[in-house]
Chains A and B, each alone.
Chain A
């Protein structure tokens, strides 16, 4: 059956140098989206590979973007990259910039109207 062949290829790809992410986990996350019923094996493979490329792209962009001290990639680098680059805009909600509480309180004092809207 062609389906089995695809799955064999997929397993082979994950065994060899192709893929290093667990596809079962990826599939689980994909299924957590509403309205998704079943997932094509090829689509799963492609998504897994795309995810790997995404991780590399995000890591490299953030690394080049910020001068993390001593060649270290820091959380702040990631947050800055996500805010600046358009392609990463969908991550802004889960990668907020960290701010000290006292700075935040100071901001609230300066902009009380903003808080009322929230």
Chain B
């Protein structure tokens, strides 16, 4: 559906991903991945994919520059401070990606259980027959039933972060 052709930045990765992923999973391969599965057994248990350190973090030069823009002109930044902010940034991105997803899944499941006023509907059933405009009175919190009866999964992202003003909606299509 989308192709990643943004090659404007110098840190373009040649990971062989090019905006696609293998069907059925999220195995993203780095360059050196072939045949090196065994070496990664001792890797960080939290990371399922075989990412190199430079892949999972944003470039430290960029991070350091943004930090410098944030603090007063005369300030300096310790090296380990830069490194750990680099990690924090990756954590932040993962966090704001996963948290709304959890909310969405939770609401979606609640809705599908019929607790939110959509009686007798499950995703697997023939949605086209079950749903008419009359019976569908409550708004599905995390999905949209289009006119042809197909369920489209749309996630509305509401931020719980106070410090990021202006972030209102992100739609993951």
Contacts and interface: CB of A to CB of B under 8 A. Distances in A.
Nearest to A36: B97
B58 A25 contact: yes
A77 B81 contact: yes
B13 to A, nearest CB: 6
A40 B171 contact: yes
B97 A25 contact: no
B101 A53 contact: no
Interface residues of A, number: 59
B135 interface: no
Interface string B94-111: 111110010001000000
Listed residue (A7, A10, A75) with the most chain B CB atoms within 10 angstroms of its CB: A75
Contacts of B93: 26, 29-30, 47, 51
Q: Is the interface of A mostly helix, strand, loop or mixed?
A: helix
Contacts of B28: 28, 31-32
A31 B26 contact: yes
Interface in B1-29: 1-2, 4-6, 8-9, 11-13, 15, 17, 21, 26, 28
Contact of A21 (B51, B62, B94): B62
A51 B86 CA distance: 11
Contacts of B98: 33-36
A22 interface: yes
Interface of B: 1-2, 4-6, 8-9, 11-13, 15, 17, 21, 26, 28, 47, 49, 51, 55-56, 58-59, 62-63, 65-72, 74-78, 80-81, 84-85, 87-98, 101, 105, 157, 161-164, 167, 170-173
